[in-house]
C-alpha cells in the first residue's frame, strides 16, 4: 500500500536503526507522546533496534488513559438516567470508574451505545426526539474538529435533545507539565503527527526553547518513528533544541486552519484534570458560552466528587515516562486487559495493554520488527 508498506520495509528500518547507532554517542531518554506511536514501538519491538543508551518512554497521549475517574463516573451517572442514550467510542466503555464501567452500567440496563463518530450521535438524536442523546467527547486535538462540527451542526439544526459530555485535552500543556516536573527524565519528544496535522507545530517552538528540548513531529509507522528518533538524537548530540518535522508528508507548519477555526468557534481553553497526573492549567477544552446549552454537565446537574485512584495503579508514573508498565506490581497478574485496574490496560493505545499483548515483560525484550509488519 502506498505510504504504508514502504514505512514498514524491513531493510529500510534496519538501515535507519544503523544510522542511529552511528550518531548516538551518549545515553538519551526520548518520549513519544502518542499512544498510537507507543503501540507501534511495542508491537514491532523498535526499542530492541536502538543502541542500549537510547531509551523510549511512553507519554500521556492515550485519550482513554487520561480521562479522569470522576468524568467516567459522570458519564455513568448520566447514562443511568432513564431518558438518556449515552454514546461513546468502544474503548471508553471498558474503562473502570470508581465503582463500575460504562459497560457495567449497560449490563444493568443503561442505554449505552458505541458510535464511530459524533455525527452518528447527532443522527441518533434526530431519530429519537423523545430521548436525550449525550455524546461522551474525549480525546486530543485530533478528535476536537469532528466534535466541534457536531455541536455546530446541532446548533444550525436547532436539535434540542443532543448534548456533549466534554473531556477534551490538549497536548502542549501536558508536555510542559512533564518537562516542568522535578523528576522529569525526558530529553526530547517525538510529537504526535496527527495532532500536528490539525494544529501545526508553531506552538511547540516556545516549549522547545524554554526547556531546551528537541521536539520532532513524528508519524506512526516503524520507519517514521526511527527517523524521528534519529532526528532527535542528532540534535541532542549537537547540543541543539529545535522543532523539526519528520512527518512532512502529512503535517504543515500551520496545520489545518479551517479545523482550527471550527474548534476555536465552539470550544475554549480551560484547566483540565488528567487521570494519574492531576490538573494541568489550560490543558483542556470546554464549550463556549454560545454553545453551553449543548453541555451535558450543565443540562444534567451532577454532584460527583473527585475520587482517589487505586493505590495499586502506577499509571501516573507510566504516563509521565517514569516507570515502564512491567514495573507495576499488578501488571499481568491482578491487572490484565480482562480485569483492568487502570485505564492504560484498557485501550489498545494504552502502554500497559500494549506491553501485555505483545509479551514485553522486561526491557531487553524478545522481538525486533515482526515479519507481520516488516513488509518483506
Q: How far apart are CA 104 and CA 368, in angstroms?
A: 38
Q: Verify binding: residue 66, ligand SF4, rule CB under 6 A.
A: no
Q: Verify binding: residue 214, ligand SF4, rule CB under 6 A.
A: no
Q: Verify binding: residue 344, ligand SF4, rule CB under 6 A.
A: yes
Report in angstroms how near the CB of residue 144 gets to ligand SF4 at its nearest: 26
Q: Verify binding: residue 328, ligand SF4, rule CB under 6 A.
A: yes
Q: How far apart are CA 137 and CA 118, in angstroms?
A: 8
- Nearer Cβ to ligand SF4, position 5 or 312? 312
The three cell numbers locating residue 215: 521536539
Sheet holding 28-34, edge to edge: 54-61, 28-34, 188-192, 215-218, 243-245
Q: Verify binding: residue 354, ligand SF4, rule CB under 6 A.
A: no
Candidate segments 32-40, 121-129, 204-212, 338-346, binder of ligand SF4 by CB under 6 A: 338-346
Give residue 334's region: left, alpha or beta (phi > 0; psi -120 to 50).
Answer: alpha
Candidate segments 39-47, 154-162, 190-198, 334-342, binder of ligand SF4 by CB under 6 A: 334-342
Q: Verify binding: residue 64, ligand SF4, rule CB under 6 A.
A: no
Query: Total number of residues binding ligand SF4 (CB under 6 A)?
Result: 15
Within 258-317, the residues that bind ligand SF4 by CB under 6 A are 312-315
Q: How far apart are CA 219 and CA 248, in angstroms?
A: 9
Find the residue with minimal CB distance to ligand SF4: 342
Q: Verify binding: residue 345, ligand SF4, rule CB under 6 A.
A: yes
Report in angstroms how near the CB of residue 165 gets to ligand SF4 at its nearest: 23
Q: How far apart are CA 13 and CA 70, in angstroms?
A: 42
- Nearer Cβ to ligand SF4, position 236 or 341? 341
Q: Verify binding: residue 375, ligand SF4, rule CB under 6 A.
A: no
Q: How far apart are CA 346 and CA 352, in angstroms?
A: 8
Burial level of 131, CB count in 10 A (0-12/13-18/19+)?
Answer: middle
The three cell numbers locating residue 280: 494541568
The three cell numbers locating residue 219: 508519524
Q: Verify binding: residue 57, ligand SF4, rule CB under 6 A.
A: no
Report in angstroms how near the CB of residue 340 gets to ligand SF4 at its nearest: 6
Q: How far apart are CA 300 and CA 312, in angstroms?
A: 32
Q: How far apart are CA 314 and CA 318, in angstroms?
A: 6
Q: Give yes or no for a contact between 241 and 214, defined as CB atoms under 8 angstroms apart.
A: yes
Candidate segments 109-117, 233-241, 344-352, 357-365, binder of ligand SF4 by CB under 6 A: 344-352
Q: How far apart are CA 3 and CA 218, in angstroms?
A: 14
Q: Verify binding: residue 39, ligand SF4, rule CB under 6 A.
A: no
- Nearer Cβ to ligand SF4, position 199 or 318? 318
Q: How many CA atoms does the CB half-sphere of 145 hold within 13 Å? A: 14
Q: CA 141: distance to chain centroid? A: 10
Candidate segments 67-75, 136-144, 259-267, 325-333, binder of ligand SF4 by CB under 6 A: 325-333
Report in angstroms how near the CB of residue 344 gets to ligand SF4 at its nearest: 4
Q: Verify binding: residue 318, ligand SF4, rule CB under 6 A.
A: yes
Q: Verify binding: residue 341, ligand SF4, rule CB under 6 A.
A: yes
Within 147-176, the residues that bind ligand SF4 by CB under 6 A are none
Residues 6+ apart with CB under 8 A from 257: none
Q: Residues in the site for ligand SF4, rule: CB under 6 A?
A: 312-315, 318, 325, 328, 330-331, 335, 341-342, 344-345, 352
Amino acid at each position: 500500500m502506498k505510504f504504508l508498506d514502504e514505512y514498514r520495509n524491513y531493510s529500510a528500518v534496519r538501515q535507519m536503526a544503523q544510522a542511529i547507532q552511528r550518531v548516538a554517542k551518549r545515553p538519551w531518554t526520548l518520549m513519544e507522546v502518542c499512544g498510537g506511536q507507543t503501540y507501534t514501538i511495542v508491537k514491532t519491538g523498535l526499542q530492541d533496534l536502538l543502541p542500549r543508551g537510547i531509551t523510549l518512554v511512553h507519554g500521556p497521549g492515550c485519550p482513554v488513559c487520561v480521562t479522569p475517574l470522576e468524568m467516567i463516573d459522570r458519564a455513568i451517572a448520566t447514562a443511568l438516567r432513564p431518558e438518556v442514550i449515552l454514546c461513546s467510542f468502544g474503548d471508553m466503555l471498558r474503562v473502570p470508574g470508581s465503582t463500575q464501567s460504562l459497560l457495567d452500567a449497560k449490563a444493568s440496563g443503561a442505554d449505552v451505545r458505541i458510535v464511530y463518530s459524533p455525527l452518528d450521535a447527532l443522527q441518533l438524536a434526530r431519530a429519537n426526539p423523545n430521548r436525550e442523546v449525550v455524546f461522551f467527547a474525549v480525546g486530543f486535538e485530533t478528535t476536537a474538529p469532528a466534535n466541534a462540527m457536531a455541536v455546530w451542526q446541532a446548533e444550525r439544526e436547532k436539535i434540542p435533545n443532543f448534548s456533549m459530555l466534554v473531556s477534551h485535552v490538549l497536548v502542549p500543556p501536558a508536555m510542559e507539565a512533564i518537562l516542568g516536573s522535578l523528576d522529569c527524565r525526558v530529553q526530547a519528544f517525538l510529537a504526535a503527527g496527527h495532532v500536528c496535522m490539525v494544529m501545526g507545530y508553531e506552538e511547540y517552538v516556545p516549549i522547545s526553547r524554554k526547556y531546551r528540548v528537541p521536539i520532532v513531529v513524528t508519524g506512526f509507522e516503524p520507519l517514521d518513528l526511527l527517523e524521528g528518533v534519529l532526528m532527535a538524537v542528532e540534535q541532542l548530540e549537537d547540543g541543539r533544541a529545535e522543532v523539526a518535522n519528520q512527518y512532512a508528508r502529512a503535517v504543515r507548519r500551520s496545520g489545518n486552519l479551517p479545523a482550527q477555526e471550527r474548534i476555536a468557534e465552539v470550544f475554549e481553553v480551560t484547566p483540565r484534570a488528567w487521570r494519574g497526573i492531576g490538573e494541568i492549567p489550560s490543558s483542556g477544552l470546554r464549550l463556549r458560552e454560545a454553545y453551553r446549552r449543548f453541555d451535558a454537565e450543565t443540562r444534567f446537574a451532577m454532584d460527583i466528587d473527585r475520587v482517589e485512584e487505586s493505590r495499586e495503579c502506577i499509571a501516573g508514573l507510566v504516563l509521565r515516562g517514569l516507570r515502564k508498565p512491567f514495573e507495576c506490581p499488578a501488571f499481568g497478574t491482578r491487572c490484565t486487559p480482562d480485569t483492568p485496574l487502570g485505564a492504560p490496560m484498557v485501550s489498545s493505545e494504552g502502554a500497559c495493554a500494549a506491553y501485555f499483548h505483545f509479551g514485553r515483560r522486561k526491557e531487553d525484550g524478545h522481538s525486533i520488527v515482526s515479519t507481520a509488519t516488516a513488509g518483506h
